[in-house]
Amino acid sequence: RETGLARVADGIRQRGGVAIPVAADLTSDESIARLLATAQAEAGPVDVLVNNAGYAVWKPLEETALAEWDRTFAVNVRAAARLSAAVLPGMQARRFGRIINIASEAGVAIVPGLAAYCVSKHALVALTEVIQDGNHDNGIKAWVICPGFVDTDMGYVVPGANPANFLTVEEVVDMARYLLHTGDNVKLGPQILLRTMRNPMEG
């Protein structure tokens, strides 16, 4: 969303950073291509890629429409695969790169009522393992952070959950920042499970 992007970009600039917000529809190949072209033209080669977009519908398998399956996989898996495939050759040539995929606890466990989301996040975990397995000797690291419930709009999809007990966005960001600062000799993951100490389903 453009308004949210602009707000984040302003915060980065106020702290002395550089931000180039580009609104994109990750279900559209043309939009993804435009995003990549703009990023590389404005900021240069991509050394760090964080795939953080997510989409979910609260439905069991038998009630999930094909269009909902398609959108879930387009946003949660296909876009991450497309973006990763686009930046990997450059990372391999420079022998340096970091890819962080944001999955979910639903990527390592089953959450009843989130059929398409669970399957897509399991696929995102597998994608991360494929990236890491193929680049052990290229100076490239790939991780998949699997947080429990996070206090975002998507968290409200889950009936009966208590957002006061969710992880904060900052806690997930802190984990991503920690991973990006690990030394070249440090091996973690690629799966990083991140949970709150509180039960998200308790009031």
Q: Per-residue DSSP letters for 171-202?
A: HHHHHHHHHHTS-TT----SEEEE--SS-TT-
Residue identified by tokens 């991360």 is 128
The residues annotated with a catalytic role in the active site are 117
pLDDT at 125 over 80: yes
Summary count for the chain: helices (H), strands (E): 6, 4
The pLDDT value recorded for residue 157 is 65
The pLDDT mean for the chain works out to 92
Query: How far, CA to CA in Å, does 71 sit from each of 95, 120, 122?
Result: 34, 10, 16
Residue 133's nearest CA partner among 83, 54, 189 is 189
d(CA 140, CA 50): 14
Distances (CA, A) of 50 to 13, 18, 144, 161, 177: 19, 16, 10, 27, 11
pLDDT band at 162 (very low <50, low <70, confident <90, very high): confident
Query: Bridge partners of 147?
Result: 194
What gap in Å lies between CA 155 and CA 56, rounded to an integer?
Answer: 10
In this prediction, residue 111 has a pLDDT band, given cuts at 50, 70 and 90, of: confident
| Residue positions counted in the chain | 203
Tens digit of each residue's pLDDT (9 = 90 or more) over 10-24: 999 999 999 999 999
pLDDT at 196 over 90: no
* DSSP-assigned states of every residue in 52-89: -------B-GGG--HHHHHHHHIIIIIHHHHHHHHHHH
To the nearest whole percent, how much of the chain has pLDDT over 90? 76
- HSE-up (13 A, CA, CB side) for residue 170: 0
Contact 144, 128 (CB under 8 A): yes
> What is the pLDDT at residue 108?
93
The answer to whether 103 and 145 have CB atoms below 8 angstroms apart is yes
